[in-house]
Every structure is written in structure tokens, then in C-alpha cells.
Chain A
């Protein structure tokens, strides 16, 4: 299966701490994207990293990509209660014209 895998499945931390989520995938990609899903809502795009990039930042988000290990990580710094959500990585495979999603990490930020 092309499906990515995310680790951990669930993460609970205190407000102000950093949260790190990991994603692994299986085949060559054009890019890897991270999405957030609040409970009962649709997915919201957070950040995209291309296959020729190794690191990318957006506000409190930092994404890394290691194509040799077929893995990516999402770091959220100085977490806030509003960051509580599920986070999904999605891989855009070469020529596939579609995204393949991992099963997500459920992040809970405790006040």
C-alpha cells in the first residue's frame, strides 16, 4: 500500500511544550504536505515541502523531509490549546495526481 504511516497515533502535552509528529512513506514523491483537522471539521493545509527541500518553516511550524529515509517530521513549537487537533501527512506521488494520507496523529494540548 502507498499509505503513509504516522507516529505517534496520539500525543498529549502541556501548553507551551513542543510537539513532534513523524510520517513515513514508501515510494518516490513530488512533495509532502501536512494538514490539520479540528474535530468535526474539514482538513486545513498547513505546509508543503517539495522533494528537493530538506526543511521548511511557517510561523511555529517546522517541517523536515528526509527522502533517503522516506520520512518527514512536523514540529509545533510553543504549543497552544488551539493546536489541539488531528494532524495528517499526505504524500503527492510522482505522476499520480492524488494525495495519499497517513492515519494521522491526534494531538491534545493540556492547559
Chain B
């Protein structure tokens, strides 16, 4: 009954490959996010979806494509992986109901590109 879950937890792949990370939340939240945390622990937002619609797209290379088949799922597909994509990727969600609400984070997916 994990609130925000991600699969896989670890992903090791070769440069140039295409990979996907999946995220699901069972909290009934309308808004979901993808964040990237680099080796220095700096956490930066990548994308945000509200009710399956993209509302935030930071300056992320277009090799990254999020997809939200329904409001409980937000997947991240990455094409032509590069060494610099190695990081921990976190999915998060939050309820609607104003601006002052917390976000709930998944456990993270550690991506290593060789």
C-alpha cells in the first residue's frame, strides 16, 4: 500500500540506450512531478502534470519524454541515454486544494549510464 511507488529502483544501462521509469500514486492526487537529483544532492524539477496534462516543462532535453496515461501514473521515457543522465530520479505527487500543500515523494530510481 505504498503511496508513491517507482519502478525500477535501480537501472544500469549503456550509453545510447532507451529506458523508461514508471511511477504510480494511490493517493488520489491530481498533480504529479518528476525530479532529478544529481550526485551533489541538488534536486531539480523536470516535469509536472495535472490531471494528465503537462503544466511544467523545465529546460529538459527533448530526449526526456513524460507520459501520463491517467492521473495516477506518470512515466518517464529517456532516449539515447548519456553519461550525464546518471542521477536519482524521483516521482512526487500532491493533492489539489490551493498552493500550500506538501508533496509526497517516491523512493527514487537510481539510473547509472555506463
Contacts and interface: CB of A to CB of B under 8 A. Distances in A.
Contacts, number: 56
A92 B99 contact: yes
Classify the secondary structure of B's interface with A.
Answer: strand
B100 interface: yes
B106 A98 contact: no
Contacts of B44: 101
Contact of B42 (A41, A98, A101): A101
Nearest to A31: B100
A45 interface: yes
B48 interface: yes
A interface, size bucket: 20 to 34
Contacts of A43: 43, 90, 92, 103, 105
A110 B44 CA distance: 30
B100 A30 contact: yes
Q: Which of B42, B44, B90, B99 has the most CB of A within 10 A?
A: B99
Q: Which of B40, B90, B100, B105 has the most CB of A within 10 A?
A: B100
20 contacts: A30-B99, A33-B102, A33-B103, A40-B108, A41-B108, A42-B106, A42-B108, A45-B102, A45-B104, A50-B100, A92-B100, A94-B99, A97-B31, A97-B55, A97-B56, A98-B56, A100-B45, A101-B43, A104-B41, A106-B41
